[in-house]
Structure 1
Amino acid sequence: MYGGGNTFEGIKNDGLAEEDPGKLAAFEARIARGEKIEPSDWMPQLYRKQLIRMIEQHAHSEIIGALPEGTWITRAPGFKRKLALMAKVQDEVGHAQLLYSAAETLGKTREEMIHDLITGKSKYSNIFNYPAFTWADACFISWLVDAGAIVNQLANAKGSYGPYCRALERICAEESFHLKYGHHCVIFLAAGTAQQRAMFQEAINRWWAPMMHFFGPSDKISAHTQTLMKWKVKMSTNDDTRNQFLDMYVPKIWELGFTVPDPALKKNTDTGKWSYTEPDWEEFKRVINGDGPCNKERLEVRRVAEERGRWVREALRSEKMAYVEPLA
């Protein structure tokens, strides 16, 4: 459930001058032809670094993103909702495992990635650092946050790095079920009492600003978008992805009789683009860099889980080392 491109890309656009010009030209020709790059293929170091950053961040976002919804499993209204939400949270953690495996093909170990997450060196999506106060918040995440993630992931599944694309194809298939689940939950609230409708409207009001941040900084301040697009690491700019989400889901919100807390939001019929209040990118940077409402809490949960599971990992490694292949 991750939008992609959600941090200020902090890797300098350097190193290309030192790359072999012939290999670089052949690499870019393969990208232009739409070929997939595989782990054993030659690739520029900047391409490798940006992929590690992007896939690792995506994996972290999936595993941290399970936490705000996970707190509602025991409080979801009704047994069926509890079962469905439990399955969804399990899927999100599974998506993280797929993505960590894809990132490992680029040379960074899972242990290093988890360490960098817990210590705050690696980033994850801004939106998962906000509290889910009510059941309606969990419904907003299941419907609209997952919808935003699908918009981006469907595009990036057509990108250039084979392991990431194959992981995204499976993830998108599962996310489509999550989207239906979230939409069903929202429809139930929309068709409910005045109190239920008010609860979901309050959730929209709380989550709209983080949702606009979710797709990443404006193209005007995103440093590496053009290089990432040229190499098909990203398939759409942040602003284009944000516009596509607005195009698909603002009308659905309005159809249900809810409002969006942005008086400037409107679609320009001549361009097909949406106008909206420019997101507060200073808040975005602050949250991404660890100073959001729930950053410390969410990372502490992961740190405790990592410590509690250490003995299992060590036991598995010991068993593997002790295993002797039986004689034929």
Structure 2
Amino acid sequence: MYGGGNTFEPMKATGVENEDPVKLAEFEARIERGEKIEPHDWMPQLYRKQLIRMIEQHAHSEIIGALPEGTWITRAPGFKRKLALMAKVQDEVGHAQLLYSAAETLGKPREQMLDDLVSGKSKYSNIFNYPAFTWADSCFISWLVDAGAIVNQLANARGSYGPYCRALDRICAEESFHLKYGHHCVIHLATGTEKQREMMQAAINRWWGPMMHFFGPPDKASVHSEILMRWKVKMSSNDDQRNQFLDMYVPKIWELGFTIPDPNLKKNTETGKWEYTEPDWEEFKRVINGDGPCNAERLAVRRTAEERGRWVRKALLAPKTEYVTPLA
């Protein structure tokens, strides 16, 4: 794995053995110098494949992630919160469009990506397969899930593939507003009635496990991390991102008087790392592979949207007809 020095270590057998060694060396030298790789540049097929997988899954997560919050638009407390949540959901779908465009530069058509989503072939973030029972669940997503996303996306915006980095720059700017909106909602509940505080605490209890899954499996079990970090597609490891999130947001949760449902959660002052109960990675695998509480429901919504919008796409892509002069 690339460890931040001036040279790359010898590549393990990762699927690039058949690449032109001269071109591969030039490619890795460009990445080492901090240059951006653009769509017209030569790249290893594995780099292209991993980028498509990563960007496509990110795009799918933006679309599916809008669904649990979207169900609360009509039930959000007050007209201003309804408007704010509607704007947030619209932003999330817009992020997906930016990401699909970035993935298309690598050669996979958007239609195929969406087909792979609704068929269950492509994955998306595990955390969006859980139900948002209460308004507090929506607040948790807007604050802490978006906070986790920013940790991941700010790091990857410094990566090596130009179109993805530029999309992430725009996305992170908008996500920062989403995080502030979510934080404001949580503060409102934290300083409200006892019932409101209990509702927020219950949401934290429900979502903490999925939140710990959010950054992916531990580094020792991650299949893709080594090559992604070597080629600067991924700029920090799963465990490092999880620790950064805990470092930034556990104190904020405690400051609001809430507890976290993990008796083993504490910061090791010697290492600077957080210690916690190991998440249930078997649950993570089940959810990622389609057996979560809301997997079927979320994909059914997207499938219905695709079917209902087919006529619009067909009309937009139809050949132009001869212009007919309107009757006088």
CA distance in 2, matches of 1:90, 1:174: 11
- Which residue pairs with 1:196 in the alignment? 196
- How far did 1:321 drift? 3.7
The C-alpha deviation readout for 1:299-318, integer Å capped at 9, x for no partner, is: 00000000000000011111
Q: Tell me if structure 2 keeps the 8 A contact 1:13–1:46.
A: no
What amino acid does structure 2 have at the position aligned with 1:299?
A: L
Q: Which runs of 4+ in 1 moved over 6 A?
A: none
What amino acid does structure 1 have at the position aligned with 2:115?
A: H
State the percentage of identical aligned residues: 84
- Which residue pairs with 1:183 in the alignment? 183
Within the alignment, does 1:298 sit opposite 2:288 as a pair?
A: no
What amino acid does structure 2 have at the position aligned with 1:242?
A: R
- How far did 1:234 drift? 0.1
- Which residue pairs with 1:135 in the alignment? 135
Q: Tell me if structure 2 keeps the 8 A contact 1:37–1:161.
A: yes
- How far did 1:224 drift? 2.4
- Which residue pairs with 1:90 in the alignment? 90
The RMSD of aligned alpha carbons is 1.1
CA distance in 2, matches of 1:147, 1:224: 23
Q: Tell me if structure 2 keeps the 8 A contact 1:72–1:135.
A: yes
- Which residue pairs with 1:66 in the alignment? 66
Highest relative contact order (Cα 8 Å, sep 6+), 1 or 2? 1
The C-alpha deviation readout for 1:83-123, integer Å capped at 9, x for no partner, is: 00000000000000000000000000000000000010000
CA distance in 2, matches of 1:258, 1:118: 38
CA distance in 2, matches of 1:154, 1:161: 14
Bigger Cα Rg: 2
CA distance in 2, matches of 1:39, 1:162: 8
Q: Tell me if structure 2 keeps the 8 A contact 1:161–1:233.
A: yes
- Which residue pairs with 1:20 in the alignment? 20
CA distance in 2, matches of 1:282, 1:49: 26
Q: Tell me if structure 2 keeps the 8 A contact 1:142–1:182.
A: yes
- Which residue pairs with 1:310 in the alignment? 310
Could you tell me which runs of 5 or more consecutive residues in structure 2 were left unpaired when the two chains were aligned: 1-11, 324-328
What amino acid does structure 2 have at the position aligned with 1:94?
A: G
Count of residue pairs the alignment pairs up:
312
- Which residue pairs with 1:259 in the alignment? 259
What amino acid does structure 1 have at the position aligned with 2:288?
A: I
CA distance in 2, matches of 1:225, 1:24: 19
CA distance in 1, matches of 2:233, 2:260: 32
- How far did 1:323 drift? 7.0
- How far did 1:322 drift? 3.4
- Which residue pairs with 1:57 in the alignment? 57
- Which residue pairs with 1:105 in the alignment? 105
CA distance in 1, matches of 2:103, 2:15: 21
Within the alignment, does 1:322 sit opposite 2:321 as a pair?
A: yes
- Which residue pairs with 1:205 in the alignment? 205
- How far did 1:226 drift? 1.6
- How far did 1:14 drift? 3.9
Could you tell me which runs of 5 or more consecutive residues in structure 1 were left unpaired when the two chains were aligned: 1-11
- Which residue pairs with 1:154 in the alignment? 154
What amino acid does structure 1 have at the position aligned with 2:321?
A: A
SS of the residue aligned with 1:257? Answer: coil
CA distance in 1, matches of 2:242, 2:322: 51
CA distance in 1, matches of 2:322, 2:176: 41
SS of the residue aligned with 1:92? Answer: helix
